[in-house]
Amino acid sequence: MNYNLLINNLTNPTLLFFALGVLASLVKSDLEIPPSTSKFISLYLLFSIGFKGGQELAHSGLNREIIVTLLLSISLATVVPMYTFFLLKTRLSVENAGAIAATYGSVSAVTFVTATLFLDSLKVNYGGHMVASMALMEAPAIIIGVMLMRKYGTQTGNDHGMGSIVHESLTNGSVFMIVGSLVIGIIADVKGAEGIKPFTTDIFKGFLAIFLLEMGMVAARRFSAFKNYGWFVTLFAIIIPIVNGLMSVIITHYMGIHPGNRLLIAILAASASYIAVPAAMKQAAPQADPGLYVPMALGLTFPFNITIGLPFYWLVIQSF
């Protein structure tokens, strides 16, 4: 079953475009995405993810478990980038540490969808509000990552007060877009939101494919830099997801959350973003090396989570 999940997701057209980008770079093709187009797609992805998350929040009825789940999701998206940043900073530059911390504090939508398919195959129910949890975990990690880079980075100086750091982080274009879109999605009129659904939903995968095509080219061009970082980043990309996933399983057990939702929270905590965070870091932290954090998230953490992580976390949940 897990091999089928792996095959189904690795043959997803959007991921195949990532492979095409890698291939284009390896064969030294002159294929390229114009910078202005790339910037537009980055902003579009942030807008669409934020808006759809806001819509899910607006449509979800509130009860104790939903409120607890949403608060826990935000807490995980805040704590994970903070502790991983200081761990990473001992071996990497501030910019790379911040980008990777944001990557692992944020989430992978494709991993989340894979987890729902896993639960469907087991005929285990889960709440629709988990989509909102996924969206809520995007922005805090980006904000924390940018804040830490602003505070500890040499290029912006260390004499900034916390108020200045928070202001710069929240007003950063990419962060402002995803947070603003989330708020608009919550308060938007239902009929009005339906009017732009073709833009926010129907063409999302197409733009995502083009974005991952460019990410594939960028990652392949700079993959040698990833290899130069040695075993530390490889072990990080496997061990940290396990730590985050198990931490979530234990916490949700004592909170009395439904097993299906517990698995989804665990996989969200264990996953790493290769959509929203790279789109944000492309603007917020151009000094950070995408040839490091993109291959870590997409080449290591993603396949690990969908082949080993999902059945492992489910086994642990069942053991409780």
Query: Which parts of 34-149 are beta strand (E)?
Result: none
pLDDT in tens, 3-44: 665 566 567 777 788 889 889 988 999 998 998 888 898 888
Comparison of pLDDT for 158 and 237, the residue scoring more: 237
Q: Looking at the 3D structure of the chain, how many domains does it have?
A: 1
223 in any annotated domain: yes
129 in any annotated domain: yes
Question: Domain with 51 in it: what CATH number?
Answer: 1.20.1530.20
| Stretch 110-127: mean pLDDT | 83
| Stretch 55-74: mean pLDDT | 83
194 in any annotated domain: yes
Structural domain boundaries, residue 88 = 36-319
| Stretch 202-222: mean pLDDT | 81
292 in any annotated domain: yes
Contact 313, 80 (CB under 8 A): no
| Stretch 169-198: mean pLDDT | 81
68 in any annotated domain: yes
Minimum mean pLDDT range among 3-17, 20-34, 79-93, 259-273? 3-17
The SS3 assignment for 45 reads helix
Determine the pLDDT at residue 100: 95
**Percentage with pLDDT > 90 across the chain:** 28
Determine the pLDDT at residue 225: 60
75 in any annotated domain: yes
74 in any annotated domain: yes
Q: Is the pLDDT reported for residue 218 higher than 50?
A: yes
Q: How far is CA 83 from CA 70, 156, 311, in A?
A: 20, 22, 26
148 in any annotated domain: yes
Dihedral (CA of 142, 145, 147, 153) sign: negative
What is the rounded CA–CA span in Å between residue 287 and residue 276?
17
| Stretch 268-293: mean pLDDT | 83
| Stretch 105-123: mean pLDDT | 84
pTM: 0.74
| Stretch 86-107: mean pLDDT | 93
At residue 287 the predicted structure's pLDDT band, cuts being 50, 70 and 90, is confident
Compute φ and ψ for 249, nearest 5 degrees: -60, -45
Q: Is the pLDDT reported for residue 157 higher than 60?
A: no
